[in-house]
A and B are shown apart, each in its own frame.
Chain A
Amino acid sequence: MRTPKSYRFSFVLILLALLLAWLLNISSGSVTIPFSATLSSLLGKPVDVASWQYIIWEYRIPKAFTAILVGGGLSLSGLLMQTLFRNPLAGPFVLGISSGASLGAALLLMGTSLLTGLTSIAFLSDISLAIAASVGSFLVLLVVMLVAQRIKDTMALLIIGLMFGSITSALVSVLAYFSSAESLQRFIFWSFGSVGDLTSGQVFLLAGIVLLGTLLSILSIKALNAFLLGENYALSLGVSLKKSRLLIIIATGLLAGGITAFAGPIAFVGLAVPHLTRQIFDTMEHRILIPAVFLYGAILMMLCDTLAQLPNTANVLPINAITSLVGAPVVIWLLVRKRKMMF
């Protein structure tokens, strides 16, 4: 017989893992900094080389913080989508929400120069990129939601999400064909995904967006739990369907859209992390799952970023490739081992 676990111990473990992943993440990079120097710099002690201090505080710590926001936020958006669409394979990438954000970003990065003939896009503010990507993902999310209302079949929903992905990537290709080399390069670099290229202003903005999305998710905890029974049961439990659904969609759009705007389209984190989390936290209670999924996603993202940095070399791999290389086998493994993915 299964006994209910207290998850306090698991939370302590996962917090420790977060701390370790964080230390690992900030102690590795293109410049080799001894671990002892990293530690003493963190503790505010003087360091042998002055530039190390600068690298750690001005580059690596903001980057690790961004990785926490990106990994946690994307995983949380995946959890919200899996519950909302009652589908274990839902996630920001699968349902075309990341593609929507890409289209929004592409229209801004490449479309504006096309339309207005301006070659410089330097004046485009960070906020406009965030808004464009969020609006793009939000629109796709709304359309997918409308389709999901008519089609009860969960497989059909995923296929529609994939089709949206195809449509948006086709539109992006058309845009790319007509745009200047400079803006195309900017878009390509954006689409590789990165957590290291953000200015401090962008990091604060991203933190605000992720915080807002997380707060909205926390406010939706009761509704999310009721949705586990299905919408009719949720209605009979006094959940106001329209309001809760809208709240969850806004939270998802903010998280997936905002993050994609700043860090690029990062694959598989949103889909895989909720399932990985349930291997440790064997519950469906969102009061436990929301913090657990956020922390797990943050850890995974920092580890992926550490790998992408290719320790001790100047090369940085696209993080999107790393998350796919890690995430896709995880999903396959879960499907094969568990036979049926549960949500």
Chain B
Amino acid sequence: MFEQKNSIIAVKELTVGYGLKVVARNINLDLEPGILCGIVGVNGVGKSTLLRTLANFQPKLAGTIEIQNKLLEKHSPSELAQKLSVVLTEQPASKNLTVQELIALGRQPYTNWIGTLTSTDKEHIQKSMDAFLLEKLRHNKCHELSDGQLQRVLIARAMAQDTSLILLDEPTTHLDLYHKVQILKLLQQLAHQNEKTIIFTTHEIDLAIQLCDKILILDGDTNPFGDPCELIEQKHFERLFPSEMVQFDAKTGSFKVNK
């Protein structure tokens, strides 16, 4: 019996960059439904470029990207909008939107030509607001929110878009430790309870090790991908930073500064 592979995103031998400038090459990953996957790596190694390529904001240079067993570039914009949603580092252009209005925009791929919300749309919006603890803030304007609250709103918008794949670019920057953990816990919950596959880039390697199901380490060479435990055993984290500055402690899964 040949089993149909239940893959949400499959990336093979991918090279990303701008025009002739290659930023990262030899990237492979394959994710099933309900997986939380972190992308880690040093500054400038191409995490954001990879994410932008996966989101179809810029063309890939080589290799293949398949979303639910169909090549990324074969999707029409509206088809892709029902399979893939994004949370970017850029702020929304208008912060005069209320929380509810912003989340409702996530339903655009499903609404009619003038954007009328059906009862199904309203259910999705309500569920997303509940999941990200935004009920009390629903009529607040976005410029009234803290960074952590705004980040939750943007992720709730992606959830309302109801795609099997969600991409997030550094969702935890500018947040304190408590809010970092809160966002990542909510993402984990979203992945496991709602069967969403979530890919995010981050600098919080120790948090990613604790919370992610899979990790992709961008090191500009082999780009290892796998379970956090496997990657620790294979000593991939040790090679991430120069060892005279910081050292990886395999027992605790965290980095220590060399004194």
Instruction: Give the interface of A toward B (CB within 8 A).
Output: 1-4, 83, 86, 218-219, 221-222, 225-230, 232-233, 235-240, 278, 283-285, 287, 342-343
Majority-rule SS of A interface residues: loop
Q: Is the CB of A233 within 8 A of B86?
A: yes
Interface residues of B (CB under 8 A from A): 55-57, 77-82, 84-86, 88, 90-98, 100-102, 105-106, 108-109, 111, 113-115, 136, 139-140, 143, 161
Cα distance, A229 to B108, chains bound together (Å): 12
Least CB separation from B144: chain A residue: A2
Question: A233 to chain B: which residues have CB within 8 Å?
Answer: 86, 88, 92, 105
Closest chain A residue to B110, Cβ basis: A238
* Known contacts A222-B113, A222-B114, A227-B93; A284 and B101 CB within 8 A of each other: yes
- Set A222, A229, A236: member contacting B111, Cβ < 8 A: A222
Rank and list the top 5 A-B pairs by shortest CB-CB distance, nearest first: A238-B81, A238-B78, A342-B96, A86-B93, A230-B93
Measured CA separation A84–B113 after assembly (Å): 19
* Complex interface: chain B residues within 8 A of A283 (CB): 98, 101
| Chain B: minimal CB distance from A152 (Å) | 10
Knowing A221-B114, A232-B88, A284-B94, say if A239 contacts B77 (CB, 8 Å): yes
Chain A residue nearest to B81 in the complex (CB): A238
Please name 13 further chain A to chain B contacts, defined as beta carbons within 8 Å, in addition to the given A1-B139, A2-B140, A236-B86, sorted by A numbering: A222-B108, A226-B105, A226-B108, A227-B93, A228-B93, A229-B93, A229-B94, A230-B93, A233-B105, A237-B106, A239-B77, A342-B95, A343-B96
Please indicate the chain B residues that have their CB under 8 angstroms from the CB of A238 in the complex.
77-82, 108-109
Q: In the complex, how many angstroms separate the beta carbon of B130 from the nearest chain A beta carbon?
A: 17
B188 → chain A closest CB, angstroms: 22
Residue in B88, B96, B115, B143 whose beta carbon sits within 8 Å of that of A222 in the complex: B115
Query: Can you name the residue of chain B whose Cβ is closest to the Cβ of A228?
Result: B94
On chain B, the residues within 8 Å of A240 by CB distance are 77
Is the CB–CB distance between A236 and B55 below 8 Å? yes
Query: Would you give 25 A-B contacts (Cβ < 8 Å), ordered by A?
Result: A1-B140, A222-B113, A222-B114, A225-B105, A225-B108, A225-B115, A226-B105, A227-B93, A228-B92, A229-B105, A230-B90, A230-B93, A232-B88, A233-B86, A235-B77, A236-B55, A236-B84, A236-B85, A236-B86, A237-B106, A238-B78, A238-B80, A238-B109, A284-B96, A342-B143
Q: How far does the alpha carbon of A1 sit from the alpha carbon of B100 in the complex, in Å?
A: 13
B96 CB contacts on chain A under 8 angstroms: 278, 284, 342-343
Task: List, in ascending order, chain A residues with CB within 8 A of B111's CB.
Answer: 222
* Closest partner residue, chain B, to A226 (CB atom): B108
